[in-house]
Structure formats: C-alpha cells, structure tokens
Amino acid sequence: MSTTSPAAGLPVSDHSPRLREALLAAAFTADGLLDLLGAPAYAALARSETVPALRATDGDGVLDTLVRLFLLQRPVPQEQVRAALPLEECLADGWVVRDGDDVQATVDVRPYGGPEGQDWFIVSDLGCAVGGSGGAGGQGEGVVLGVGGASTTLAGITVRMPVSSALDLGTGSGIQALHAAQHATRVTATDLNPRALHFTRLTLALSGAPEADLREGSLFDPLGDDTYDLIVSNPPFVISPGARLTYRDGGMGGDDLCRSLVQQAGARLNDGGYAQFLANWQHVEGEEWQDRLRTWVPRGCDAWIVQREVQDVTQYAELWLRDGGDHRSDPTEYAARYDAWLDEFEARKTKAVGFGWITLRKSGSERPSIVAEEWPHPVEQPLGESVRAHFARQDYLRTHDDAALLADHFRLAPEVVQEQVGLPGAEDPEHVVLRQNRGMRRATKVDTVGAGFAGVCDGSLSAGRILDAIAQLIDEDPVLLRDRTPQAIRLLVGEGFLTPVDLVDPVDLLEPSEPGREG
C-alpha cells in the first residue's frame, strides 16, 4: 500500500477508535446535532453561519462542548473537554491543543450521515467545512475543504454496486472514498495535495471505514497501469487565469483539466465500469457545447452528459472571486483580478460556462451512446440507480430495431402522471405532458397517440398490438401508425417513461447476500 506520512502539524489517527466511541456516546452525529440545535440553527450551520448554533449550545453538556469545540471552533475549558473526550489521547494525537486553561480544535470534525444511516465524520481544515462560503482560499492554497453541495451531488449520482476496485481521484477530505468503501473491495484515493491525503486518512479512520490506498500526484499519474471498476472525481474544475488555489483551480488552460480527465478515464476503466465526474466547460463562440463535449468521450465508452447550470462570464468570475475572498481585498487588486478573468475568457472566445455531470461507461460498443442534454430542473437524489438504468436503456435501444420494438412489451414507469394543457372549456387539450415524479423528474410533450399508448402499457400487450387498437379507435391506417410511432416510443424508453418488460436489470443479477448491495 502506498501512503503518505502525516503532514506536519496535523492529527494522527492512532486513537481514532476511542475518539469515535466518545463522539458517538455524546450523540455527536447528524441526528444528534439536529435534535440539539433545531432545524433553523442546523441549516444555518450548513451555510457557515454560527451565531444560531452558539446560542443553542450555551449549556455545559458534552454535546454542547463538542459542537463548540469541533464545529464552532471556539476555545473550551479543559475540564469540559475532559468530560466529553479522552483528552490526553486527543492531545497526544494532535486533534486538539492546549491554550492556557482552554482547549482548541486543530481541525474541523463534522458529523455526516451515510446513505444507510451510518454515523460518519468528515475531517477538514478549520473554517472550511463548506466550500464556496466566501473566502476559504484566504487560508492558503493547500487548504482542504469539507463537504459542500458539489460533494453531496457527486455522491448522490454515483452508481452503487459491489465492485472490486474504486478510484477517488482528487479526494480532498475523503468523502467519495468513504462512500466507495461501502461497496468496493479496494479503494484508491489520489490528490496533488499531500494534506488532502492525510485528511482522507483521518476521515476514514474516524468513520470506522477500511483504510484506502493513498497516492500523491496529478490526475492518473500516480496510478501506474492500474484499472478500476468505478472512478469518481470532484476535480478542481474552476476555469480560471492560473492555479492560485489548489482545491479549486485546475492549473490547465480553460477546461483542459476536465477534458483530459474524461479523455484519459476510458483507458483506466475495466469493461462495464463507470467513471463519474463533476465538471465545468466553456461555451465557445461558434460551437455548440454538446458538440465540444462529445469530442471528450473516449473510444469504447458510452456517455451521459447533463448540463445543470450556465453562467455568463461575469457571473462566473464574480462567483469564484468571492469564493477566494477577493471581494474583501483592496478594490484595485480585486478589479485587476476580475479583469484577468475576463481577459482569459476573451482570449478563449468563451461566452459562458456550463456546470454539470459527466458519466462514462466502458461498453466497448462500435456504436457508442453519447447523450448530451440540458436539465436545470430539480431532481430526486440519490440518482445512482437512475444513472445505471439510463445506460441499460441505451443498450436496449441500440440492440432493438423498429420491428423488435413493436414486438416487445412495455410498462409505464412508476409515478408518471399526465397533464393536459389548454384553454378553459376547450373540448381538446392543446398538448399533453407526461411527467415523472421520481429520479430525473422529466417532462415530455406527447400527442394523443403517445398519451394513449403510454396509458395502456402494463406489459400485457405488445407495442404493435396496442398501436393496432389505437388505429382502430381513431380510424387511422394501422400500417401507417406502426411506421410513424417507433421514434416516439424510443424517446419514451430513452427518457425512462416506459420500461421494456424483459429488460434485465444488472442489480437483479446480484445475490442478496453480496456485500455492498443497497436496497
């Protein structure tokens, strides 16, 4: 196993089982915090607002002590800490330090609830539990952030199936490695920042998870010829003029880091494996963003690219200037940095920046499925099963011509509803919308034939038989209806409104006793 030595001045995890035991005994967990603080103060803490939590922890209980020590990072009297923790061991390991008669934390330790109710703890730099909260960059370029919205988004979209090997590339504080350890036999975590690798080791140890193989280096450089069944990465994807802040700036021009990451991932995936990334990409004058990103997809891989948000270049620059604390600097310096961002975008003919998810699956197909779409609307997390099902449907559509499609049987997906839109009192609606209430929560317009077809899909009749019945009802030639409808059926299947009855779900092939299977 390749590991890094403890970074100077950071805790070691020799007594982490004792510390974990003390934290759990005090109900220093996600549920315990919610009970103590109440929903408003708990939500404010997630926004890095500490005043409500300070007001809620003015007692002398052990949970009050731990919240003030590790989350609010306030000095706490030694005797109160001794009542809550094995103080001498925590001092020896470096989790806390003495400050006169008080004790102060050296790191942020934040409870985090796992997907099956596990009590985990994420360790990060002081004051950096949530990214994008205004000035983490002011603490130094090697700062290690805790869990933010991007981290939880990636964890939610990741396909969770038992695998032999998983890679968390650019691990940060280790949240993706912690999730992967629940369903992967072997987890490798890499980062260019040695402090990040050390924080990952602390996160895993304090959460009671198996150790990971920790490797220092950029992108795939430290991995030799190793390949994986699952690759996840929340990389430093910010498109910026330079690489001032390691935790966010990629250090390559434009969106080259994200492009390189995606293009190189194909050679690192085992057959059937998934690679899932968060990314930013440029909207370049004269090019469609979908066409640019399709060129990123490596040979032999299917891809699903979802753009969740777009910002113009001024919004984007302002967002990340605030993230780095530059809005608090001298106005002249702030203006110069803002100008540098706009110079960078102008030189690259960038008119906007997109943010979203990229998922690859190593299929080896000669006719890869590459779907690039925009979906800025709310979705239901976790989405890992929806991601896996998307690729299963693409396999189905790739191997079924129109004749096979019409011979097959379909079921309407659960919780799909129909909406009719039109003028009040009108005899017929102007259009009909099918809407999903689960997963991606898609909506699509259909004609009366499509609505009628979807409504009777219960798996008992073939698609062709249903169309023949509809043709008789609307007095249309059944041959013509069969000819013009398969494309609409493909759309409904591709977007998950209809499910082929005989579509084999890879999860259903697993024995229930296999480790890591999620209900």
Per-position pLDDT tens, the chain of length 519: 444 444 557 899 899 999 999 999 999 999 999 999 999 999 998 888 899 999 999 999 999 999 999 999 999 999 999 999 999 999 999 999 999 999 999 999 999 999 999 999 999 999 876 443 344 444 556 889 999 899 999 999 999 999 999 999 999 999 999 999 999 999 999 999 999 999 999 999 999 999 999 999 999 999 999 999 999 999 999 999 877 777 787 777 899 999 999 999 999 999 999 999 999 999 999 999 999 999 999 999 999 999 999 999 999 999 999 988 888 888 999 999 999 999 999 999 999 999 999 999 999 999 999 999 999 999 999 999 999 999 999 999 999 999 999 999 999 999 999 999 888 877 778 889 999 999 999 999 999 999 999 999 999 999 999 999 999 999 999 999 999 999 999 999 999 999 999 885 443 333 333 333 333
- CA 222-276-1 angle, to 5 degrees, is 30
At which residue do the structure tokens 């779900």 appear? 505
Q: What residues contact 49, with CB distance under 8 A and at least 6 apart?
A: none
The radius of gyration computed from the CA coordinates of the chain, to the nearest angstrom, equals 26
Q: What residues contact 183, with CB distance under 8 A and at least 6 apart?
A: 160, 161, 162, 163, 166, 515, 516, 517, 518
What does DSSP assign to residue 238?
A: B
- CA 31-37-39 angle, to 5 degrees, is 75
pLDDT of residue 422: 84
Q: Can you point out the beta strands (E) in 49-126?
A: 76-77, 96-99, 102-105, 108-113, 119-124
Cα-to-chain-centroid distance, residue 219: 18
- Backbone dihedral angles phi then psi of residue 503, each to the nearest 5 degrees: -70, 120
The count of residues in the chain is 519
pLDDT of residue 3: 42
- Residue closest to 242 by CA, chosen among 148, 137, 133, 168: 137
Bridge partners (DSSP) listed for residue 283: 352
Residue type, 4: T
Contact 205, 12 (CB under 8 A): no
